[in-house]
Structure 1
């Protein structure tokens, strides 16, 4: 771990972390989605979020898009969605002159972050046009040829398609996140955050970190991976040996996720711990579990100051868990301040304390986690 960050890169990483922190406010069990969207935006790769309806997939993407500040496009695809609903209508004035041009203002070809819900329901015409847009960042239709600024497209679906034609399209989404309904342990939190009758919550100012994210994307392209490549090759061999299907294209492009994780942590040199991103390229939950297991000795110490929920989810490491607990404890303490210790507050504080004590022996706490633990104990007793 590099002790100090380059000034501009450090400021940019902090700005993106602030955007993530703001986006996570009110998100229950969907923090990983917001963080992986950010990772993919830096990497210039696309993300597929798979889960049942009503699991806040669109909410998580919308929140982080608002906070990052990039131009955003969102649409729910259906069997009868027309291409002009996604890419823009034909310019009728030019059509009278015999030229087919598309008016793309405010549509997908001009977006920097896009969210396409039920992405596999799109027609063949839509999916074929999307292929060029996702792969080459170029929109072609009629006489219109446009260099698209798209940094990340997030596709959402209830399941991964089995149709070979659609599976080939799905392969263009390098990273995959699988979501389930919120766990029982967080139901009270979900009900509270989702209660539309609750008093208006304070507005969280959007830091608009897009310029910093662009600079981090450039830094990721220059991130030093040379010394890590033998370890990365070993990791991919292990995943393939465990039955995780990884094409050559996905193996090569996985380097972008590794480099982006490093720069979001404020480093210009990637480390073995950044390989926690590799399970993201596995095609289904079982394969992601297998990847975590065969990479356990490489990614067990993974941690990321900006993406601590995602790093914990895909590494199952104690270092990432410690960062997440520090953030959770700090958020609770900031939220409640010096309010009297009512029952709800006490239960939430105690839940974080129990998780700290269950996961870490006292000598292994580390300075930050130990300090948060002491503050939580004092708050519970207040």
Structure 2
């Protein structure tokens, strides 16, 4: 591969930043899709309708490149709507083969909304495709290029058969409607999505470089931390299946690769939270693993790491990123209303920073951002060019 590891990590990081722009409270979901794509695992998103689940996946798919397939399943969805119709020319010859062009078997990223409404025939075929990346139907046998499949539903299934299918999605995230304090951001972000703009994109080659680095990562040093976390979860009454315990190492290695690290460490254990199957279990896991998760840090997946850990380093990264973003949006002089609105945003970031960190405990990265914010807020309106 001609693309270097550092260049691949930087490319994907930049693409994810653009993909998450304007998606309030969905930045972590964008990052989890990329994490699972590098790990070669699948993501299940649980949340009410109208919470931008499909938009987040579409934007991530565009950012990562490759073929994309999306479908809303229903009780009467036919397998041909997902996998493709039977090839009538081959059928005349006595062969039952499927025309897969433009359908799920040829996609690199897939989004299946209301995934648990699929028929038994669809779910059984999906099992082989998700597990082995092999599509089997009639006489058709083909390897599939699928990197990640995102399934979405309003709730986790209670039926045992569907629960077994859901277990094929290693990572899970639970989304809610945007809270009241962020409604202004939601309105502004939603309006920005209507405007066509250039967004940076990565490439399948970049994903391949990171995926290979994740597969080759030396996990020995991080395993004691991971095993300790798993014992702590068991002691708290949270027991994961052996399959999930083993596979979570792929998420840990992928998180390190996306952060630009070839060797995973304690800062990369946080994806374990997303392998816990229920929302209540994830909340309990965050609580009992608080000390371990405080080391979480990932510049490429800052929102996902923060959501998983609520650790100080991850929180510092998100605040620093938000502060730099607002500082970079400074409007031109001569527009007092825009300047006043910009200063309100600066004050909001500064308040969040001061509420989250004591002055003596500020990480170096935040210290520099705090000083820039202070100078921008202290400067007279007409002198903000010089201050910022």
Same fold flag (TM > 0.5): yes
Matched residue, 2:284? 290
Matched residue, 1:342? 339
Matched residue, 1:326? 320
Change (3 A) 1:213 1:254: same
Shift of 1:245: 3.2
Matched residue, 1:276? 270
Shift of 1:272: 1.4
Shift of 1:363: 2.7
Residues 251-300 of structure 1, C-alpha deviations (whole Å, 9 max, x = no match): 00000001111111111111112111111011111100111122112121
Q: Secondary structure at the match of 1:75?
A: strand
Shift of 1:200: 6.1
> What is the CA–CA distance in structure 2 between the aligned matches of 1:370 and 1:229, rounded to whole Å?
33
> What is the CA–CA distance in structure 1 between the aligned matches of 2:360 and 2:83, rounded to whole Å?
57
Alignment partner of 2:376 out of 362, 376, 379: 379
Answer yes or no: is the 8 Å Cα contact 1:261–1:274 preserved in 2: yes
> What is the CA–CA distance in structure 2 between the aligned matches of 1:361 and 1:204, rounded to whole Å?
39
Change (3 A) 1:350 1:249: same
Q: Secondary structure at the match of 1:220?
A: helix
Matched residue, 2:251? 257
* Structure 2 length-normalised TM: 0.93
Matched residue, 2:311? 317
Alignment partner of 1:101 out of 91, 97, 100: 97
Change (3 A) 1:358 1:130: same
Residues 60-111 of structure 1, C-alpha deviations (whole Å, 9 max, x = no match): 1111111111211110001110000000010000001110000001100011
Matched residue, 1:47? 43
Shift of 1:370: 1.7
Shift of 1:241: 2.1
Q: Secondary structure at the match of 1:276?
A: coil
Alignment partner of 1:156 out of 147, 152, 159: 152
> What is the CA–CA distance in structure 1 between the aligned matches of 2:107 and 2:176, rounded to whole Å?
28
Alignment partner of 2:296 out of 294, 299, 302: 302
Shift of 1:194: 2.3
Answer yes or no: is the 8 Å Cα contact 1:308–1:323 preserved in 2: yes
Shift of 1:39: 0.5
Answer yes or no: is the 8 Å Cα contact 2:24–2:186 preserved in 1: yes
* Structure 1 length-normalised TM: 0.94
Matched residue, 1:243? 237
Change (3 A) 1:158 1:203: same
User: Gaps (5+ residues) in structure 2?
Assistant: 382-388
1:211 matches 2:205: yes
Q: CA RMSD in A?
A: 1.6
> What is the CA–CA distance in structure 2 between the aligned matches of 1:293 and 1:271, rounded to whole Å?
20
> What is the CA–CA distance in structure 2 between the aligned matches of 1:113 and 1:60, rounded to whole Å?
12
Matched residue, 2:355? 358
User: Gaps (5+ residues) in structure 1?
Assistant: 1-6
Answer yes or no: is the 8 Å Cα contact 2:123–2:165 preserved in 1: yes
Shift of 1:337: 4.7
Answer yes or no: is the 8 Å Cα contact 1:87–1:107 preserved in 2: yes
Q: Which moved more, 1:123-132 or 1:269-278?
A: 269-278
